[in-house]
Amino acid sequence: GAVDLLVAELGLYAVRPDLEGLGIPHLMRVMYPVLQELDVPFGFGTVRHALRQHIARLLGRHGLATIVSGVRVRSTLREVHLDTPPTRIEDVLIVVLPIGRSMSDWPTGTIIDRNGP
């Protein structure tokens, strides 16, 4: 069955342009207290498969997050056209940052709908 879970999207540099270029571990260390204040259970982001080793090395060294594979992400496209579907499904790696819950509480499944039900 489906599980609805509110998560905080990571990597939105437009919101904090001062963090751009400082690295993912720095971003997560800065954002962690903010996400705790917001009382979200998890931070969530995506990376390309080609970056798996790089992200695993960065995050594994600091124990900041877990990489989850085998999950696709559905998103609404920025521009919708009559001749194409309004959404896309990406095969990416999921990066999960436990905030208010432990990683064992992250739901299992094969798809994340970024826009909710």
Q: Under 8 Å CB-to-CB from 78, ≥6 apart: which residues? A: none
**Residue 113 CB neighbour total at 10 angstroms:** 15
13: pLDDT strictly greater than 50: no
Tell which phi-psi region holds residue 105, choosing left (phi > 0), alpha (psi between -120 and 50) or beta: alpha
pLDDT number for residue 11: 63
Confidence of residue 37 (pLDDT cuts 50, 70, 90): very high
Q: Report CA Rg, the chain.
A: 15
The torsion angles phi and psi of 92, rounded to 5 degrees, stand at -130, 170
C-alpha dihedral (49, 66, 14, 16), degrees to nearest 10? -150
Work out the percent of the chain whose per-residue pLDDT is above 90: 8
pTM above 0.85, yes or no: no
Q: Kind and range of the H or E element at 112?
A: strand 111-113
31/15: higher pLDDT: 31
pLDDT number for residue 14: 47
